Amino acid sequence: MSDSPSSATAALILPKDLAAETGRVNVQIDGIWRQFAKGTRMIEACRQAGTIVPHYCYHPKLSSPGSCRMCMVQMGLPARPAPGQEPQRDAAGYETISWVARPVIACANTVSENMGIRTHGDLVAQTREGVMEFLLINHPLDCPICDQAGECRLQEHSVGYGRSSSRFMEMKVKKPKNVEIGPRVRLDDERCILCGRCIRFMSEVVGEPVLGFTQRGTHTTLTAHPDRPLDSNYSLNTTDICPVGALTSNDFRFQMRVWFLKETPSIDVNCGTGTNIQLWTRGNKIYRITPRQNNEVNSCWMPDSHRLNFHSLDSVARFTEPLAKHGALHEPVSWEAAFLTAASKLKAQAPEKIAIIASARMTNEELFLTRALATALGTTNLSLVPRFSEPDALLVAADRNPNTTGAMLVLDTQDPFSKLDAIRAGVRSGAIKALIVLGEDLITDAGFCFEDLAPLEFLLQSHTLANPTALAAHLVLPTAAFAEKRGSMVNLSGRLQRLNRAIEPPGQCRDDWEILRDLTQAITGNTGHLDSIEEIFQALAETLPAFNELTLSKIGHLGIPVMDTGYQIPLLTTERARQAARLITG
Amino acid sequence: MPVVKLQRPKLNFGESIYLLAVAKGFLITLTHAIKSLRGKSASAKSLASSGLGVTMQYPEHRWDEHLPEYYRGAPALVTDEQGRERCVSCQLCEFICPPKAIHITPGEIPSNDPWAKVEKRPAAFEIDMIRCIYCGMCEEVCPEQAIFLRKDYLITGLNRADMVHNKEKLLAIGGVRTGLVNKWNELK
């Protein structure tokens, strides 16, 4: 550095100084100069610039071993000036880039000042073609039977960057196929491209390092520990991040090709975390559920127990039409008759003899209408059913109700479960003669027994599945399940999120909100207009300050924080620490 | 687009009264009549049974031996020399089928099956022949050489259910086909 800078450089404010003021660096990507935060990985810089660099082993939520070599790009650094020589700069003040002769991996290298990156060109194209050729040497021609076909990175990159035909005459290496590596995951070692994402996921995110590579060279084989199968409650996430069909889900195995499936963004309802999910449907059937990335809720992951809990939706246990009890048996009735019966039976009781047990599995809109129903009946006996269980250290919350926070907001109470014991005692003592049960099974989940319910003069239950309480109910109303309705819920950390309808409810099932509206209107005789879930949300938003100015569509697919509960999702705490330590990129 | 004005051909007097053309037509018919009476018509041999050798007496006599190799009749599933049904239910034909005539329910091959290594085969395979348009895309797209359009064209039924070919029927129509690429052999 010279003591007296030349007048030309002194007058010109260099781009590197401008960028340094905000802690950023200048990087030229495919000929265009941009600024990126210091420490950004080259692959992330390219992504921000709108160029996706093909990759297999790199995952933003996992460490970067740089093992697949697919993300190689051409890199250039400022030319090093000879001693005493000033760096050469162009008119804009950028130094001349001296391109490195050999490609570098973009996933594990960070950007630096005045760096150049080329993601296209002969060198990069030849590199990718070479890497693809190596990866395909021993890859079997399993595509017609492989569940990954259609969402396989190897297929995509082979078409995008590979050769059209193979040059190899040698026999392919034999490896174990169709291995039961865990209770829910199937392994095909021949398809494995040794990216190691699953190994890193199990050791870094789940903290159960049960997977690893054995053997060497082309015989390298992915295996689980001999004494410990891949039985974690997060094992199916490995099938999501596996870029090929090496790890596939037993549950989804050979069920449907992915190109037939339609994706619907929604949220999980199995615990208070409110994991963001994607529902994959064809026709009126859900084939699988996968996690949907939301860095404020579930990152990219979800527990297996929640993921696989959708098979009851098209089971024979579904209620498909309203049922009324005649003697010992239930018989189908029309919706109109059901509402008339319910209204006359409920109006015959004194308000204090009626109780409502609703569910914290209901959406905000449904709880809002439940509150309106309680007001119409004049009863204050309204409680939800608590559902607490062991949490885990990642995503499964202790509160297995998805909308407890929403219930507190909508019902305007700090403990929506407080009156359950009183209602139970009232039912046992005969003080409560009529009971409305919404979406809950009292006998299994709320500490009632069949003998408690038998003396009730009127028991109405709305539920999706056949259950012991329905046996005692005088009127059973079939409702839509979580994948069949729209609505909003608030998760434990106070984030308002949206359920979306992926499939149609079976038979004569109706949305809970329609049932609640019709029941309330049958009781009050008031036929106001509430024709859509949007109108209910609007009415709810007007009464609830936290929801003011919001509509269902404004919630968006990633949700909106509406309150601060102080609840930390354990997975995010760990992930943010790893991010701050620069172990992962995002 | 510019308008192009077509010029009608100018007809002279003889052409405009058509009589000449009519006479020409009669002459052609007469020539064929004489030819067939002398037993010299084009398909005299193959259609001899019809008496004059001009008209095929369907259905007593059939197209069958006259069908070219590329004829596109009913699509069917084939079995190979080793007795393996070749379809692995990849569902590409279901995907490509323009009238959506194909419906496949994939299934897993049990581990005690001699072809367990193939892992997958259709649990059910249905082609609705009322929908099928005989386009041959299923044959073209099949990566396993499992579905072929055969020469069967007499697809009839008394109700809609009859017109849906199930897997057994498709395999029966398809029969055994030899000389196919065998990628699921012992070395696989």
Tens digit of pLDDT for each residue in A160-182?
999 988 899 888 999 999 999 99
Residue A194 token pair: 């040794």
Q: State which residue of chain B sits closest to A253, comparing Cα positions.
A: B108
Chain B hits for A180, Cβ within 8 Å: none
CA angle A516, A520, A524 (to 5 degrees): 175
Query: Mutate which of B85, B86, B88 to disrupt the A interface (most A C-beta within 10 Å)?
Result: B88
Strand order in the sheet with B102-108: B102-108, B120-128, B164-165
Q: Say what the pLDDT of residue B49 is.
A: 63
What is B56-104 written as a DSSP string? --TTTS-SGGG--TT----EEE-B-TTS-B------HHHHH-TT--EEE
Q: Using one digit for the tens of pLDDT, what is the confidence trace for B121-166?
A: 999 999 999 999 999 999 999 999 999 999 999 999 999 999 999 9
pLDDT higher at B186 or A133: A133
In Å, how far is A164's CA from the nearest CA of chain B?
Answer: 16
CB environment A197-223: b (16+ within 10 A), e (fewer): bbbbbbbbbbebebbeeeeeeeeebbb
Name the residue among A144, A253, A260 with its Cβ closest to that of B108: A253
A262 CB within 8 Å of a chain B CB? no
Residues in chain A with pLDDT values less than 70: 1-11
Chain B hits for A260, Cβ within 8 Å: 91, 94-95
Q: How far apart are CA A431 and CA A434, in angstroms?
A: 9
Residue A302 token pair: 């979800």
Mean pLDDT over each residue of chain A, to the nearest integer: 94
CA angle A419, A427, A328 (to 5 degrees): 135
Diameter over CA atoms, chain A: 103
Q: Say what the pLDDT of residue B56 is.
A: 76
**A144, B117: Cβ pair inside 8 Å?**
no
What backbone phi and psi angles, to 5 degrees, belong to A24? Answer: -120, 170
Three-class SS of residue A46? helix
Q: How far apart are CA A107 and CA A111, in angstroms?
A: 11
CB A517 within 8 A of CB A530: yes
Superfamily of domain A7-120: Beta-grasp domain (3.10.20.30)
Interface of A with B in 109-128 (CB under 8 A): none
B187 CB within 8 Å of a chain A CB? yes
Contacts of A368 (CB under 8 A, 6+ apart): A410, A536, A539, A540, A543
The CATH topology of domain A323-571 is Rossmann fold (3.40.50)
Query: Mutate which of B93, B97, B115, B120 to disrupt the A interface (most A C-beta within 10 Å)?
Result: B120
Beta-sheet pairing, A72-78 with A329-332: unpaired
Q: What is the CATH number of domain A139-153+163-314?
A: 3.30.70.20
Query: Residue A37 pairs with which residues in a beta bridge?
Result: A24
Q: How far apart are CA B111 and CA B118, in angstroms?
A: 10
CB A63 within 8 A of CB A48: no
Q: What stretch of H or E contains A221?
A: strand A221-224
A143 CB within 8 Å of a chain B CB? yes
Q: Using one digit for the tens of pLDDT, what is the confidence trace for A322-335?
A: 999 998 899 999 99
Q: How far apart are CA A282 and CA A255, in angstroms?
A: 11
Query: Mutate which of A141, A143, A145, A191 to disrupt the B interface (most B C-beta within 10 Å)?
Result: A145
Q: How far apart are CA A335 and CA A196, in angstroms?
A: 55
CA nearest to A446, candidates A510, A392, A401: A401
Three-class SS of residue A228? strand
**A254, B108: Cβ pair inside 8 Å?**
yes
A81: preceding bond cis by omega (within 30 degrees) = no
Chain B hits for A257, Cβ within 8 Å: 90-91, 95, 106
Which residue ranges make up each domain of chain B? 13-54, 75-174
Mean pLDDT over each residue of chain B, to the nearest integer: 90
Residue B122 token pair: 């259709």
Beta-sheet pairing, A285-291 with A458-463: unpaired
CA within 13 Å, CB half, A452: 19
**A256, B187: Cβ pair inside 8 Å?**
no
Cβ count within 10 A of residue A341: 18
Q: Say what the pLDDT of residue A298 is.
A: 94
CB A42 within 8 A of CB A29: no
What backbone phi and psi angles, to 5 degrees, belong to B76? Answer: -150, 155
Would you place residue B36 in the very low, low, confident or very high pLDDT band (cuts 50, 70, 90)? Answer: confident
pTM (predicted TM-score): 0.90
Measure the N-to-C terminal CA separation of chain A; round to a whole number of Å. 37
Q: Say what the pLDDT of residue A118 is.
A: 96
**B117, A177: Cβ pair inside 8 Å?**
yes
Residue for token pair 């596939």: A248
Q: Say what the pLDDT of residue B66 is.
A: 80
Q: How far apart are CA A346 and CA A523, in angstroms?
A: 8
CA nearest to A503, candidates A303, A294, A318, A274: A318
Interface of B with A in 62-121 (CB under 8 A): 88-92, 94-95, 106-108, 117-120
**A144, B95: Cβ pair inside 8 Å?**
no
Q: How far apart are CA A151 and CA A243, in angstroms?
A: 8
Strand order in the sheet with A276-282: A262-267, A276-282, A285-291
Q: State which residue of chain A sits closest to B110, comparing Cα positions.
A: A178
Q: How far apart are CA A374 and CA A398, in angstroms?
A: 29
**B183, A141: Cβ pair inside 8 Å?**
yes
**Section B34-43 average pLDDT:** 81
**B143, A177: Cβ pair inside 8 Å?**
no
Q: How far apart are CA A488 and CA A500, in angstroms?
A: 9
The CATH class, in words, for B75-174 is: alpha beta
Which residue ranges make up each domain of chain A? 7-120, 139-153+163-314, 323-571
DSSP A307: H
Q: Say what the pLDDT of residue A2 is.
A: 45
**A257, B187: Cβ pair inside 8 Å?**
no
- CB pairs < 8 Å spanning A and B: 39
Q: State which residue of chain B sits closest to A141, comparing Cα positions.
A: B183
In Å, how far is A127's CA from the nearest CA of chain B?
Answer: 29
